[in-house]
Amino acid sequence: MIEPFDLVVIGAGPAGEKAGAQAAYFGKRVAIVDRRADPGGSAASKTGVPTKTLREAALYLTGFRRRDLYGAGMDLSPDTVLERMRARTAEVVKLSVEAVRLNLERHGIELVQGEARLGPDRAVRVETPSGERVLHGEVVLLATGSRPFHPPGVPFDDPDVHDSESILELRRIPSRFVVIGGGPVGCEYASIFLALGAEVTMVDRAPHILPFADAEVSEALGWVFREHGMRLLPETTVTTTERVDGALTLSLSDGQILVADAALFAAGRAGTTDGIGLEEVGVRTDERGRILVDETYRTTTEGIYAAGDVIGPPGLASAAMEQGRVAVCHAFEIPFKETVDPLAPLGVYSVPEVGMVGMTEEAAREAGIDVESGRSPFEANARARIAGTTEGLVKLVFGREDRRLLGVHIVGDDASELIHIGQAVLHAGGTIDYFIHSTFNVPTRSEAYKYAAYDGLQRLSAHA
């Protein structure tokens, strides 16, 4: 018996949840299929929420960066710290999953647990714990997410070799921790374990960490990491990972040998598309299993759309949510959301955080724009001095002729929150004068925007 729906979504992560809610809000009958009993996807249970919770728990339980400020702090054993971190993470994950479940119920969406496989004419066969169900959607949305990419030759079957999901299962804090990959995930976990007292080494093939970021911000974050004792090895790769006399040993391209208690390979992610029948219905993918879509998120098969991590970068929950909403609006011709925000911010939840939106200084110059920049270090910010977290800066990139804001780049505490101020001005097509004429509460970190703008004006005057 075929059960008819307007929309059948495969995957209950951020893209699937928000797409389903958007369609249901406009009166569509929606079913969401997920192999897990709990909705929310990896963002709720494996990557986003757990990583950020671990970060906050590690900072609180260790007093990292605050002991020197007050001369006091908690002194817990490593086992106690890890136990309480895991307990807090489990609690927040449970709350996040329940929030997704309540949202689906509120919109009247049917959540179906089981393994889904595409059939002809937008049929979706689902193997549930109680038997097979066949759902039919006028539209099918693929939002199956992603999984950690495993580079060939890396022994992930070794209990001390981890990817970005298995690292959450650690039962002890390693004394020597090696992170391979200087992207967002690598930076986040490297700084978390540094806060937990591990001796951390980061290996990356790029010249500097976060290679997509503004170079000055990348260098500032690297400086902070080194100041806290992290060892950074740029332009280096791991050639072999093996056990030597029982010890986990990594050989590097420059001839160095690292011995570690645990290693994290943060090598990006690949689309989770195995076993759902893409080839049978003509949905094409790339070499990493990521589904190919057009600007409306339509796949190569009529009536089938895809959104979220399964279509590739940026791999952010925030972007996945918007892609899901936009996809169903196009699919059902709902005149509501037609495009995803072209000025979406990016947050890296390392210690300290990084936030960015718009063009980097390097990208603006490559585009032939005559640019200038202004910056305000947090060491000059009263709120940062009070908190004792004066690392980092706010950097504004703007046009020299018209002072129009082109990009904002922040490294420091609360960067992922502060970046939205710059995003709003970018959306409005504003200039750095906005920050000069605005009144900011004092003391606040956001006041750094004003002084970065003043610094930019001074640079313009000096240039003139």
Specify whether 242 is located in the same domain as 285.
no
Instruction: Tell me, yes or no, whether 108 and 255 share the same domain.
Output: no
Same domain? For 74 and 201 the reply is no
Dihedral angle sign, alpha carbons of residues 77, 79, 80, 84 = positive
Tell me the pLDDT of the chain averaged across its residues: 93
Task: Indicate the residue among 331, 364, 380 that finishes a domain.
Answer: 331
Residue 64: is its pLDDT beyond 90?
no
Q: What is the pLDDT of residue 20?
A: 97
Reduce the secondary structure of 199-263 to three states and give it as a string. Answer: EEEEECCCCCCCCCCCHHHHHHHHHHHHHCCCEEECCCCEEEEEEECCEEEEEECCCCEEEECEE
pLDDT tens, 270-312? 888 889 999 999 999 988 889 999 999 999 999 999 999 999 8
Predicted pLDDT of residue 45: 76
Query: Residues 121, 216: one domain?
Result: no
Residues 218 and 83 sit within 8 Å (Cβ to Cβ): no
Instruction: Check whether residue 140 and residue 287 sit in a common domain.
Output: yes
Give the tens place of pLDDT for each residue, 363-413. Answer: 999 999 999 999 999 999 999 999 989 999 999 999 999 999 999 999 999
Which residue from 132, 136, 188, 134 is spatially nearest to 29, judged by alpha carbons? 136
In a domain, 439, yes or no: yes
Contact 367, 359 (CB under 8 A): yes
**84 has a pLDDT exceeding 90:** no
Which tens digit of pLDDT belongs to each residue from 205-259?
999 999 999 999 999 999 999 999 999 999 999 999 999 999 999 999 999 999 9
Q: How many residues does the chain have?
A: 464
The CATH number given to whatever domain includes residue 361 is 3.30.390.30
Please check whether residues 251 and 295 belong to one and the same domain: no
Calculate ∠ Cα 273-120-23, nearest 5°: 70
In a domain, 342, yes or no: no
Q: Is pLDDT above 80 for 336?
A: yes
Classify residue 337: in a domain, yes or no. Answer: no
In a domain, 321, yes or no: yes
Rounded to whole angstroms, how far apart are CA atoms 299 and 456? 45
pLDDT tier, 37 (very low <50, low <70, confident <90, very high otherwise):
confident
pLDDT at position 23 over 90: yes
**Domain end residue (candidates: 238, 267, 296):** 267
Residue 155 lies in a domain: no
> Do 277 and 137 reside in the same domain of the chain?
yes
- φ/ψ of 166, rounded to 5, equals -70, -20
The answer to whether residues 86 and 72 belong to one domain is yes
Q: Which of 183, 187, 143, 150 is nearest to 165 (CA)?
A: 150
Last residue of a domain, one of 267, 288, 322: 267
pLDDT mean over 79-94: 85
Identify whether the C-beta of residue 4 lies closer than 8 Å to the C-beta of residue 30. no
Q: 19 and 118: one domain?
A: yes
- Does 304 reside within a domain? yes
Q: C-alpha dihedral over 252, 269, 55, 263, to 10 degrees?
A: -30
Q: Which domain holds residue 433?
A: 352-463
- What pLDDT is recorded for position 192? 92
Q: Is residue 156 part of a domain?
A: no
397 three-class SS: strand
Binning pLDDT at 50, 70 and 90, where does residue 169 land?
confident
Q: Are residues 262 and 275 in the same domain?
A: no
Range scoring the smallest mean pLDDT among 106-110, 143-147, 256-260, 441-445:
143-147
**Count of domains observed in the chain:** 3
Task: Round to whole Å and give the CA distance between 327 and 337.
Answer: 9
Q: How far is CA 154 from CA 46, 150, 169, 209, 422, in A?
A: 21, 7, 19, 22, 41
16 and 101 together in one domain: yes
Per-residue pLDDT of 132-162, as tens digits, reads: 999 999 999 999 998 898 999 999 999 999 9
Residue 201's CATH number: 3.50.50.60
Q: What angle do CA 356, 361, 364 make, to 5 degrees?
A: 110
What's the pLDDT band for 72 if we cut at 50, 70, 90?
low
Give domain status of residue 246, yes or no. yes
Residues 169 and 120 grouped into a single domain: no
